Amino acid sequence: MPGPDDAALSTLQPALVVASFGRDLQVELPDGSVRLARPANRRLRCLCGDSVDAERIKGDWVVRHIQPRREVFYRQDKRDGKRPVAANVDTLLVLASPEPGCSAEQVDRYLAIAELNGLRPVLLRGKADLPDAAFDAMLAEFNALGYSSLSVAADQPDSLAPLRHQLGQARSVLCGLSGAGKSTLFNALIPNAAQRTSSLSAASGEGRHTTTTTLLHQLDGGGWLVDSPGVRDIRLWPMPAGELIRGFRDLLAHENDCRFADCSHRHEPGCAVRNAVDAGSISSRRYASFCDLADRLAGQLPP
Ligand SMILES: Nc1nc2c(ncn2[C@@H]2O[C@H](COP(=O)(O)OP(=O)(O)OP(=O)(O)O)[C@@H](O)[C@H]2O)c(=O)[nH]1
Ligand SMILES: [Zn+2]
């Protein structure tokens, strides 16, 4: 015979966390409606992108349970080392534009962030209306490593169609250097984004939320884009070289052949990574970039 607990269980609804600002949340219910919600207790640390079970109690929505996460997207945080930004994200869009420019080493870092977070990186050659052969040649190096790229011009809607198509149902984070055109591209992809952010801070009654809010915006084609103040200028968190190499797929491919399991790939004899650099199968630029980043993350060079 059903007891009182069964009655409570039956009111639980699956929901998607589409905004988080501190402990306050917005959840999207199966009927497409979006409601303000709070976690049932302090132990439930909901992230934007979480699939949850929520129920309505006296008019308020309460999150009872977080479904297991496929992955958590982290960014560097001065205080805690690394900080979770969103759950169940799968794609990192790396916007690199000839104006103001973006070095190959900076692209290496963004790609490493993607690889280390388990995200599929997609390189976006921004400001496609500005031709720059040298810049395109720089990006071609990454295509040769197996990374896909797309050209986008924010004010040419046709140029965004392949991106929308590629994003499909993906949940993506957009990053890139200051001035690369992230805001412009974001607004071109999600015309009502700014409006949603301001209506959210009005609904919660606190303007400060606009600087701490993480939002999930749905694209026309079905994909999702994460909007979070901290991810636009994302950096890697401190980690040892043995972990960093997972961010460099061309180096990682040789790592198993190093003589020592804990090889730092810097000075050890029998290092398969350095041998591959000498043989020309790993580019010396990529190897130097890895060493430089390893030193910075180990605190031996300024970040
Ligand atoms: N030619 C051209 N200019 C663009 C394009 N997209 C953006 N811009 C210009 O590039 C400049 C920077 O664009 P933003 O969108 O503010 O760049 P951002 O990456 O958000 O910059 P931050 O807020 O500093 O991180 C602006 O002057 C834009 O008008 C584009 O596709 N083509
Ligand atoms: Zn090695």
Q: Which domains does the chain have, with CATH numbers?
A: 10-66 (2.40.50.140), 72-231 (3.40.50.300), 241-297 (1.10.40.50)
3-state SS string over 206-260?
Answer: CCCHHHHCEEEEECCCCCEEEECHHHCCCCCCCCCHHHHHHHCHHHHHHHCCCCC
Q: Ligand 2 is a single-atom ion; what residues have CB below 5 A from it?
A: 258, 263, 265, 271, 273
Atom of ligand 1 nearest to the CA of 176: 19
CA of 294 to the centre of ligand 2 (A): 13
pLDDT of the residue at 246: 96
Structure tokens at 173: 């984070």
Q: What is the pLDDT of residue 3?
A: 45
Instruction: State in Å: Cα 185 to ligand 1 middle.
Output: 8
Ligand nearest to the CA of 227: 1
| pLDDT of the residue at 211 | 57
H or E element at residue 60: strand 60-66
Q: ipTM score here?
A: 0.98
Percent pLDDT > 70 in the chain is: 89
Closest Cα to residue 104, out of 292, 275, 239? 292
CA of 4 to the centre of ligand 2 (A): 61
Atom of ligand 1 at shortest range from CA of 155: 31
Tracing tokens 């960014």 back to the chain, one arrives at 75
Average pLDDT of the segment spanning 57-83:
88
Higher pLDDT, 25 or 213: 25
